């Protein structure tokens, strides 16, 4: 087991990882930008290093500065969290060159699966049904030729990263040039990789993902499914587990299939296989995220399994101590992402409480929310024995949560949870019109 880990991230996820490390007896090293000098994650860690200006390119995406901080601190491993460098195979390889463990899959596996276009090819070869699409697109001319083959409407997506960055729905040919330039630029700024690919658009689809955990001894478990279909501008807003759109028969079949495929390709660590489900109930593999998901908390409260701790254990060579039959998927868990609508300073904060209510955040009274990074303020997560009770609990928790001084989406989340489509579990990706 590692004795010191550097967390190459910020905000609530950095705090989440620091807490897990403290509970495991592991010393922590934080890195922060000048904009985050007074952040909680920098204060909570045993050591902290400033790695640059507010720009992500100069700080949280700066591989050399992060690695220098790891070497200076004597950290044995780097945990990337999500976003930033979490799916960067070049950074993982650079860590290996300096005998620092990267908490995630191998650089080679990241290279293969982190590129979403390549991942689709690999999973199709392994037996999963995939959405028809292209390989990596090298130019606008190639994009135009590919679009004619696929037909409109179609999707343009970043090969690297996640979080809804670098994604565009293109309804007709005239929209393609601007969408291509915008998607490439957005992907480059977010992930330092501007490559994109294309795939056919599936109307009225659900977005369902399955969480897997695999060790280096061939043990693979699936920790259930999550429904992430409530999205706005390709950004997930609400996740719940289990998905109300998946029958128990479908769920068990999917669990068997994904564990077999993950074992077959030799994957190790935490990962998420994402699917689109059409109205007829057909599942199409979309991508595999080879990192910790923002919504990992939903699975944690449903199963009682600490994903961050197991991610660290597996990376250090410790085998899983439980089997698929021991994974308890009873009850219902829901997460609402609380986002800032504009920069501001938190004047007052009241966090919802009660049994099985969790709020992951880096906010405190006086916190400044800047425009430099993701708008996520925190994640409100609840668990209950049934979906009906979970809905009531989430409404109560949203009513209790107060963040003054920073415009936010708490009221909008309450409106969504109280909507007929969400209450009935019949929502899909068209809940919000595209680019609204």
| Torsion of Cα atoms, 54 then 60 then 61 then 62, to 10° | 90
Maximum C-alpha span of the chain: 57
3-state secondary structure 131-191: CCECCCECCHHHHHHHHHHHCCCEEEEECCCCCCCCCEEECCHHHHHHHHHHHHHHHHHHH
Q: Is 143 exposed, middle or buried (0-12, 13-18, 19+ CB in 10 A)?
A: buried
412: alpha, beta or left, given left = phi > 0 and alpha = psi -120 to 50? alpha
Question: Phi and psi dihedrals of 262, rounded to 5?
Answer: -65, -40
3-state secondary structure 63-103: HHHHHHHHHHHCCCEEECCCCCCCCCHHHHHHHHHCCCEEC
The token duo for 154 is: 């179609």
Task: Spot the catalytic one: 10, 16, 206, 291.
Answer: 291
The token duo for 408 is: 């936010």
CA dihedral sign, ordered 291, 294, 300, 302: negative
Contacts of 159 (CB under 8 A, 6+ apart): 115, 116, 117, 118, 136, 187, 193, 195, 196, 197
Q: Is 424 marked active-site?
A: no
Question: Active-site residues: which are they?
Answer: 291
């Amino acid at each position: 087991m590692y004795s010191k880990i550097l967390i190459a991230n910020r905000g609530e996820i950095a705090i989440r990882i620091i807490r897990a490390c403290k509970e495991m007896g592991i010393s922590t090293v934080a890195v922060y930008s000048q904009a985050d000098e007074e952040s909680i994650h920098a204060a909570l860690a045993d050591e902290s290093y400033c790695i640059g200006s507010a720009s992500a390119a100069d700080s949280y995406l700066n591989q050399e500065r992060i690695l220098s901080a790891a070497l200076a601190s004597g950290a044995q491993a780097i945990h990337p969290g999500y976003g930033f460098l979490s799916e960067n195979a070049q950074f993982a390889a650079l860590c290996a060159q300096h005998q620092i463990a990267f908490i995630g899959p191998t650089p080679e596996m990241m290279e293969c699966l982190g590129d979403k276009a390549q991942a689709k090819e690999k999973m199709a070869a392994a037996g999963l049904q995939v959405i028809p699409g292209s390989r990596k697109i090298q130019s606008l001319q190639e994009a135009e030729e590919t679009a004619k083959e696929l037909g409109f409407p179609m999707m343009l997506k970043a090969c690297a990263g996640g979080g809804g960055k670098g994604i565009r729905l293109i309804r007709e040919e005239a929209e393609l040039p601007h969408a291509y330039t915008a998607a490439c630029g957005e992907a480059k700024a977010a992930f330092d990789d501007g490559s994109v690919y294309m795939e056919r658009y599936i109307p009225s689809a659900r977005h369902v993902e399955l969480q897997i955990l695999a060790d280096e001894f061939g043990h693979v478990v699936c920790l259930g499914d999550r429904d992430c279909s409530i999205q706005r501008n390709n950004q997930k807003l609400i996740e719940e587990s289990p998905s109300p759109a998946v029958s128990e028969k479908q769920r068990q079949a999917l669990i068997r299939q994904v564990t077999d495929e993950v074992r077959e390709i030799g994957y190790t660590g935490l990962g998420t296989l994402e699917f689109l489900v059409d109205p007829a109930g057909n599942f199409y593999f979309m991508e595999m995220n080879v990192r910790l998901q923002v919504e990992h908390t939903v699975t944690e409260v449903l199963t009682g399994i600490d994903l961050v701790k197991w991610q660290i254990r597996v990376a250090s060579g410790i085998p899983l101590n439980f089997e698929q039959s021991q994974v308890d998927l009873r009850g219902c868990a829901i997460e609402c992402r609380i986002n800032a609508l504009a920069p501001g300073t938190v004047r007052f904060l009241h966090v919802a409480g009660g049994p099985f209510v969790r709020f992951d955040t880096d906010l405190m009274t006086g916190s400044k929310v800047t425009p430099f990074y993701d708008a996520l303020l925190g994640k409100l997560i609840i668990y209950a024995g049934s979906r009906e009770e979970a809905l009531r609990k989430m409404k109560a928790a949203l009513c209790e949560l107060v963040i003054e001084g920073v415009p936010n989406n708490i009221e909008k989340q309450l409106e969504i949870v109280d909507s007929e489509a969400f209450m009935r579990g019949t929502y899909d990706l068209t809940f919000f019109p595209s680019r609204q």
